[in-house]
Amino acid sequence: MKKIVLLLTAGFHGLLMIAQTPDAKISIIPQPVTMIQQAGYYQLPKHISIEAPSLPALQPVIDFLKKRITQPTGYSVSVSEKAAATSIQLVLNKTANPVIGKEGYQLRVTPKGITISANEPAGLFYGVQTLLQLLPAAIESETTVKNIAWQIPAVDITDYPRFGWRGLMFDVSRHFFTKQEVKDFIDQMARYKFNLFHWHLTDDEGWRIEIKGLPKLTTKGAMRVGKTGYFGTFSTPLPEEPLNYGGFYTQDDIKEVIQYAKDRFVNILPEVDVPGHSLAAIVAYPELSCTEGTDKYRVRSGEKIMDWHGDGTFTALVDNNLCPANEGTYTFLDKVFTEVAALFPFEYIHVGGDECAKNFWEQSTAVKALMKKEGLKSMHEVQAYFEKRVGKIISSKGKKMMGWDEILEGGLEENAAVMSWRGEKGGIEAAKMKHNVVMSPTTYAYLDYMQGDAVVEPRVYATLRLNKAYQFEPVPAGVDSKYILGGQANIWTEQIPNTRHLQYMIWPRGFAIAESVWSPKEKKNWNSFVQRVEQQFKRFDVRNIKYAPSMYDPIFTAKKAGDQLQIELATEIEGLDIYYSFDNSFPDRFYPKYTGALTPPKDAVMLKVITYRANQPIGRMIAMPLEEMYKRAGIKKQNLATDAVE
């Protein structure tokens, strides 16, 4: 009997040891260049010693690491230039390693300790990000977590970025986000090795940056009538409705955010969007418009101001363009860019240039006179004239101009860089003209698009699923890669009213973009990526960061087979089973499992589906009205009930 007890005790102890050992599979996003897992692991001691050079440039890295370890473990952390017993060693190479460059690092974990080496502090910062992903998910906690074995698998990693420009664009004009929310955004992006924060600061819906020489930009241009619903369909604000929504960043706020980003090795690209998307500026200074009556305009609240014709063309219903024929426009922009250039240390300033409706220019006598004077033959050439003058203003401030790919139309200012958003065409054209390019095509990189079916997601005019975002390749075929600075994802916030929904829209698609701009092209693997995304979900759960579970939702395809509707279901990721019902009840794994195209019963009104993995529900319960399926298949269905209770 005693022997049995001893065996049971030994077996139980073995189970405990297994439970405490780190997962055999390491899950890092973005995927490192090379990674070799060794035997064993390093156990963090209760008194952690960090050895690091005493350099001001390295202090943010040390402070970050110390805080991230201390909070969840509750362990003490000491820092010194030379420690007797070192837990974590941060090393700046005396002789630069040419393989890893300025942002790369080498990380080695053995049962005796951890060493991160790099040529520059930025590399050490990214090495720290990887180190934290090697620890259990509980390391993300902001409070002490007990009964955790803080173990790190033994590993050798050499890592460096594929591109120097790894960006996320954040639109704070359509919806205003506080300074703290902007800092939180920077924190999240830096953890996944993004290094460029594109700050979209002005648009029709609000001017968000203080310009001291032009105070009306924020006293009149920063506030609007607050409305709730689907942006773009709101009613036109009435004169008596209060301007109760909005805000702006003071120049002190801007400086604080710039320093915050710098401490996380993130550069900030400011954008002042002109000549279109300038309604907030025109409300502040109506004389900037070519059109009479703009003194009656109000900052847009989300009402319709454009007619979109479905072929990429559009007509403005109000004149939201700065007037290219008005010398006062260039005086105004000189004042704006003088202050913007003084605030932001980054080498580029983004000037927008997108979606400039020209129908009001076509009616303007001043624009017609400008065309005659300058020999301009089209409205595209009028915008090119404007962009070239703006480019000279930017150059005079010691900065370089960047704009959306529309600035190519009619000719491009020397040294201007192009951000290609309308697919890849503009970027390819600019690169062939030997201009620098950042790729951010809607096809792969617009994170404000729906990420699942429209019956589940908040309605937006297009869809971008995770697997499509993961296919992002910043260097198009046939293009000289030396002109491709890198890539970025864009987050327009018309339909994103708060920071929780912002998180939902960014993640996990932000992971896909991060890996596309950091990791070697040949290292990308969809199935591996999905497994690693799921590990990041666990970390986000600990950090209370919201994310979209859309990759677990089925994909609906409606087809017409004779007079019949056929519905095909598919899954974005492997290993999922789909269960369904047509009888308005809620399916689970004891319901029919999808094995092939479905034909709805004659009088059915609703298809409900749910996905399972290994007998556990993993997807959301989705109710798809059959009326919607008939519509998508192009079938007219008579007497289809639509008032079923779900």
Residues with catalytic function: 203, 277, 355
Place of tokens 């639109």: 171
DSSP 8-state symbol, 575? S
Note whether 567 and 556 are within 8 A (CB): yes
Beta strands in 473-603 (DSSP E): 484-491, 554-561, 564-571, 577-581
Give the rounded distance of the alpha carbon of 11 from its chain centre. 48
Q: Which residue from 224, 233, 208, 242 is spatially nearest to 299, judged by alpha carbons? A: 224
Report whether 375 contacts 381 (CB < 8 A).
Answer: no
**Three-class DSSP category at 50:** strand
**CB of 633 within 8 A of CB of 598?**
no
Give the closest residue to 27 by CA, choosing from 187, 153, 122.
Answer: 153
Q: Please give the helix or strand (H or E) that residue 224 lies within, else none.
A: strand 223-224
Q: How many residues does the chain have?
A: 646
- Quick one: which of 168, 298, 146, 147 has its CA closest to 234? 298
Q: How far apart are CA 544 and CA 285, in angstroms?
A: 43
Residue 463 CA from chain centroid, whole number? 15
Counting beta carbons within 10 angstroms of the beta carbon of residue 239, is it exposed (0 to 12), middle (13 to 18) or buried (19 or more)? Answer: exposed
The rounded distance, in Å, linking the Cα atoms of 286 and 283 is 6
Q: Please report which helix (H) or strand (E) contains residue 206, including its range.
A: strand 206-207
Residues forming beta bridges with residue 314, ordered by sequence position = 308
* E-assigned strand segments in 226-347: 245-246, 267-274, 306-308, 314-316
Q: Give the H or E element holding residue 180.
A: helix 179-191
User: Which amino acid does the sequence have at 538?
Assistant: K
Instruction: State the Cα–Cα distance between residues 488 and 510, nearest whole angstrom.
Output: 9
Strands 554-561 and 484-491: unpaired
Structure tokens at 30: 């973005």
Spatial contact of 480 and 493, defined as CB atoms under 8 Å apart: no
**What is the C-alpha separation between 100 and 518, in angstroms, rounded?**
12
User: By three-state DSSP, how is residue 46 classified?
Assistant: coil
**The tokens of 608 are what?**
């409900």
Q: Quickly tell me which residue has 């002490």 as its tokens.
A: 144
